[in-house]
Amino acid sequence: MIKYILERIMIGIVTMILIITINFFLLQLLPGSPFNSEKLTTEQIEMLNEAYGFNDPLPVQYVRYLSKIVQGDFGISIINTNIPVADLIYGKLPHTIKVGGLALLIGAVIGLFLGSVAALNRNSFWDYFTITVAILGVSIPGFVFGAVLQLFFGLKLDLVPIIYKIGDPRSFILPAVALAYPIIASTARYMRTELVEIFNSDYILLARAKGLTRRAVVYKHAIRNALIPVITVLGPATIVLIGGSTVIERIFGIPGIGNLMVDGINTRDHFVILGCAIFYSLLFIVILLIIDVIYGVIDPRIRVSGGMKN
């Protein structure tokens, strides 16, 4: 298993280098410049380009940036008064984690519950209710659902703030629910589908024939196997939630990483854009590694078939 993890880490490192390389050179195609202020003269713009190394050949800029990344230096923000990009990301991360973490908890718990109940009670009210929730979760855009939550619970009922306020736990609720709803829908749909298929499988019929109780069959066999594809869904969803939904962050005024990246794109702040892209990519690779390990814990057969041997 250790060998498998080390192999995955090496693959992750190579993947990160490719991502950094592709993003760096694609960013050069982005129109405009961070020095677009009308107050700047041509001479001043040229001095700034020289100071930030933008006048150097692209291969030289790339090697210099890659060497800084190895040292943990993501560069300096051009627009944000020369603040290190790493400091900007770390400053925004707590706000995104608070909302995204709560959304993931809500989405996973409610989604697993609804999917399980629907599968155990097929063609009942709960089954149709779960299917409806899943369809609406896929159909309704996040910004529409977020705006509806603000309208009813924030403005009409005045139960919670409609704008994110630092230090006010109530202001986490609406953006967390807005982010959680698609997770609830996808998790419930996958959980229901997998459980229905598992209940009709041969080994479940064998377990029942051996006299195991319904509860034992459900908890020891069915749910355990159904969690594997559900975790596949929750993994990428975690990236989105922790990284922050840009639209939701804009609607609720959350000073998170999603907002930081949008501001970087709008102002052509190259180092902020690259820093956020690298952060997202690294987070994605780490979570995929964690998911692979969890697969092996849930189903030991995967350790053998996938080469994850002790």
Could you read off the pLDDT of 120-156 as tens digits, one per residue? Answer: 888 889 889 988 988 888 788 877 888 898 888 888 8
- DSSP per residue, the chain: -HHHHHHHHHHHHHHHHHHHHHHHHHHTTS-S-S---TTS-HHHHHHHHHHTTTTS-HHHHHHHHHHHHHTT---B-TTTTT-BHHHHHHHHHHHHHHHHHHHHHHHHHHHHHHHHHHHHTTTSHHHHHHHHHHHHHHHS-HHHHHHHHIIIIIIIS--S-SS--TT-GGGGHHHHHHHHHHHHHHHHHHHHHHHHHHHTSHHHHHHHHTT--HHHIIIIIIHHHHHHHHHHHHHHHHHHHHH--HHHHHHHT--SHHHHHHHHHHHT-HHHHHHHHHHHHHHHHHHHHHHHHHHHHH-HHHHHHTT---
The pLDDT of residue 108 is 87
pLDDT at 286: 83
| Rounded Cα gap, residues 272 and 80, in angstroms | 9
pLDDT at 304: 47
pLDDT at 309: 45
CATH number of the structural domain 92-278: 1.10.3720.10
pLDDT tens digits in sequence order for the chain, 310 residues long: 677 677 778 888 888 889 999 988 888 877 777 777 677 777 877 887 888 788 888 889 899 988 888 888 888 888 777 788 888 888 888 888 888 888 888 988 898 889 888 888 888 898 899 889 888 887 888 778 888 988 888 888 888 888 888 878 888 889 889 888 888 888 888 888 888 887 777 777 776 777 767 676 776 667 777 777 777 777 777 766 665 577 888 888 888 888 888 888 888 888 888 888 888 888 888 877 777 777 666 555 555 444 444 4
Query: What's the pLDDT score for residue 242?
Result: 64
Amino acid, single-letter form, for residue 215: R
For 288, other C-beta atoms within 10 Å of its C-beta total 17
In this prediction, residue 299 carries a pLDDT of 58
CA separation for the pair 310, 291 (Å, rounded)? 17
Q: Residue 300 carries which side chain, given as an amino acid letter?
A: P
Q: How far is CA 265 from the centre of its chain?
A: 19
pTM here is 0.74
- Residue 1, pLDDT score: 64
